[in-house]
Amino acid sequence: MLRLLFVFSKNLSFPFNPLTVHEPINTAEDYPQGKFANRSLARIVAFQVLYQEDMNPGTAAKFGEEFLCEELPDHEPIRNFARTLIDGTLQKKTEIGAKLEQAADNWAVARMNSTDRNVLRMAAYEMLFMETPRAVVINEAVELAKRFGTADSAAFVNGVLDRIYLNTSLH
């Protein structure tokens, strides 16, 4: 969680105003490498917008598009993928929340760590409503949890998404 706050706060003046982001927050070292790096980067940026929206409701509509354009310049297809993740996750938030609570025994969504909650929401949306292979969704979510969450986040995210996968594949 500390790393997530650092990613949001580096290169910004305080007090932080999400409407006045002037340069990319993620640096070249923050970008994933490899064949599918662009989609991974889109997930990172989408997660950051969703996290900000969760912490400060209304900010996705106010600064989300600007943030996407700054973080994913010259990558319109990848920005579209990130937009789909953000918009879909926000639109299906209630339905996704019910699935998460069903899969996470004794855990209300509101009680979950905010990083885990947003990784889970976005991954559940992608798993349930998009064509991405479920194993890819789970792996990407676990990587986000490792990067931005606590020491226990990756295992928690993996367990909840695995239960959602098992519950949906039976029907």
∠ Cα 20 43 74 (to 5°): 60
Contacts of 28 (CB under 8 A, 6+ apart): none
The Cα 125–Cα 107 span in angstroms is 19
Segment 25-56, tens digit of pLDDT: 565 555 555 444 689 999 999 999 999 999 99
- CATH class belonging to 2-169: mainly alpha
The Cα 72–Cα 92 span in angstroms is 24
The Cα 64–Cα 161 span in angstroms is 26
pLDDT of the residue at 15: 41
Q: What is the residue extent of each domain of the chain?
A: 2-169
Segment 87-137, tens digit of pLDDT: 999 999 999 999 999 998 888 888 999 999 999 999 999 999 999 999 999
Specify the length of the chain in residues: 171
Q: Average pLDDT, whole number, for the chain? A: 82
